[in-house]
Structures are given as C-alpha cells and as structure tokens.
Amino acid sequence: MRPTDVQRLTVQETADRYTEMVRAKSATGALAPGTAEVYARDVLTFAELAGPELVLDDLSGADVDEVLLRFARKPDGRRRAPSPTGGGAAARQSAASQARFRRSLSAFFRYAVIAGWVQLNPMEAVTLRAKERGGLGARRRALTTEQAGGLLGAARSMAAAPADAGRRSDQRTELRDALVVLMLAAVGPRVSELTRADVEHFYVNDGVRYWRIFGKGGRTRDVPLPRAVTRVLEVYLAEGRPLLDRGREPQALLLSWRGRRLARGDVQAVIDRVLARVDPDHRRGVTPHGLRHTTATHLLAAATDMDAVRRVLGHSDLSTLGRYRDELPGELEAAMRVHPLLGGDGD
C-alpha cells in the first residue's frame, strides 16, 4: 500500500535508494544485471541533471521536461561525431538513448509513488514527446555487403599489423579491438553477452572452436566460430590479452587498458576506432546492435536455415527474427532473377 505521508527526500537520496533496490533485485535474479545497471545509471544521471539537493516531491512536469532536454543535449562520451579526419567531439545523445532514459525515469517515478516519495507522478504532466522513429536509425540498420566488408577488412588488418614497439604495452589494444568487431559482426551477440565472456567460455571440439554464450533468462548456446574469428581469437589470447592482464579480472576475455573487464559503454568506442580505418566510401557508423542486425540480415539473405540463425542469435522464437531482418540493396532484384517458378530464367 502507498504510505499516507509523503517522505520529503532529496532527489539524490531517492536515487541512491532506488539504485540499491534495483541492484538488490539483480542479485536475487529478479532483474537482469544489465537492466539493473542501466536503470541505476540513468537515475543517477537524472539526479545530477535535476539538482541532487532538491526535494523529489517538489519537481513538476516542467522540471522533468527540462531534465529530458538537458539529457538530450548532454554529450555521449561513448560516441564521436563524424568528421572528415575520423575524429570529432563527443556526439549528442541518440534518439534511442533519449527513449531509454525516458523509460528509466518512468520506472523510477512509478516506484517513487509506491514508496511514498512523491504525491503525484510528474511524468504524467510531461509535455515533451518522443519523436516518431520512422524505422531503425542508420546506425542500427544492417550494414551493406560493401560496408560490412570494409569494417571487417579494417579489423583483420589491425589484427595482422605488427605491434608498435614504441607504445606502452597497455596501450596496444588493436588485437582486442579487432576481435571485438569480428565477433560482433560474425556472431551477432548482444553487447552484454560479449562483455560477460570469460576465457573459459571458449573451447575446442573436433577441431572447431566454440563460444559458450550466456544469454537472456539464464539460457546458454554454443556457437561455432568462423575460422577468421578463431585465428584472431587465438592470437589475442597468446599475445594481445597478456599485455592488458593486470590480474584484476583473471577470467574476463576482453580487458581494458586498466586490466578491468571491458564495459558495455566501451564497445561503441572500439567500433568507432576500427571504423576510422575504413575507406570513407565504404564507411558508415554502426552500433553494436546494428552489427547484430548485420549478422542476422546477411545470414538470412544467404538462405541460411532460419532456425540455425535463431540459435546463433539466441532467440527463443523464430518470429523474433523479423525484427532483425533488414532490407539489402539489390536483394529483391537478385531473388527475381532466380525465380523458382521460371527455372532460374527470370530475365
């Protein structure tokens, strides 16, 4: 039941309590760890933007509107705005990030009403409305064959390049970055599955290297790795990972230069570094989830068995694949040229 008296708690106090609650749910298995950390991060960001010393119950819909605007203008340290030289300042928050932040605030204020931190939910008075997305954004769509080839080619070149002896060992992350991009594009894991991967999750059976992926809902799947990925993985384990190993995360496959497990937010920066090496004619920004779309789209376009693609991606239902299947240029024309009712004579 909702408490009779509203507690006059500050924004920071309620954010801290809410963060403790979602992390406790994660520890008991009631909430996925990745989801709990997203909620916690967004609510702590909200406290920073709203004013941590203000009383939560004093915030109005207009105040939350202002927070949403501040978040939209806030630089996203994980992404860089494109520039001709491949650098650029940190980009603003994407539409997807803004929508996620709004969902996190909605969940926070629903809980705040139940906990007795606010009398009324200010989200109900918010006037800002999310833009209609009109389909997937360019960074979330599948890469074309040429774009994917450029990205994978850059990754493989990084893996094959000799180490720069003039740099500190903990700054030599080319092998790791190449492996990240190859695994995302070739296997299509969720970014949380990639960053949770441990060295012991990779094994060899009958000469084939497999990755045991721990996915949603406690489900696991064993995915065979393509030979090109296996070669880079083995070089990374033998030469690249030891340079980053500080003994802090002895099981983690992917390590930061500090020797910590690579964080989810670091993966976009890795992709962007590899993209900077791609020929501008074949370069297009893409997110980790966009690479998951790329895997699904190209496997299905190559007439790979749908159930096999489902198992690679870790979906429980074939119908979910429809969300990951993007249109590729020229594929309808190619399909009609080899029309089965015309015996392949579709011209």
Catalytic site residues? 190, 216, 289, 292, 315, 324
Interaxial angle between packed helices 61-73 and 95-115, expressed in degrees from 0 to 180 and rounded to the nearest 10: 150
Angle between helices 264-275 and 145-160 (to 10 degrees): 90
Rounded Cα gap, residues 191 and 181, in angstroms: 11
Distances from the Cα of 305 to the Cαs of 298, 328, 340, in angstroms?
12, 18, 18
SS (HEC) of the chain: CCCCCCCCCEHHHHHHHHHHHHHHHHHHCCCCHHHHHHHHHHHHHHHHHHCCCCEHHHCCHHHHHHHHHHHHHCEEEEEECCCCCCCCCEEECCHHHHHHHHHHHHHHHHHHHHHCCCCCCHHHHCCCCCCCCCCCCHHHCCCCHHHHHHHHHHHHHHHHCCCCCCCCHHHCCHHHHHHHHHHHHHHCCCHHHHHCCEHHHEEEECCEEEEEEECHHHCEEEEECCHHHHHHHHHHHHHHHHHHCCCCCCCECCECCCCCECCHHHHHHHHHHHHCCCCHHHCCCCCHHHHHHHHHHHHHHCCCCHHHHHHHHCCCCHHHHHHHCCCCCCHHHHHHHCCHHHCCCCC
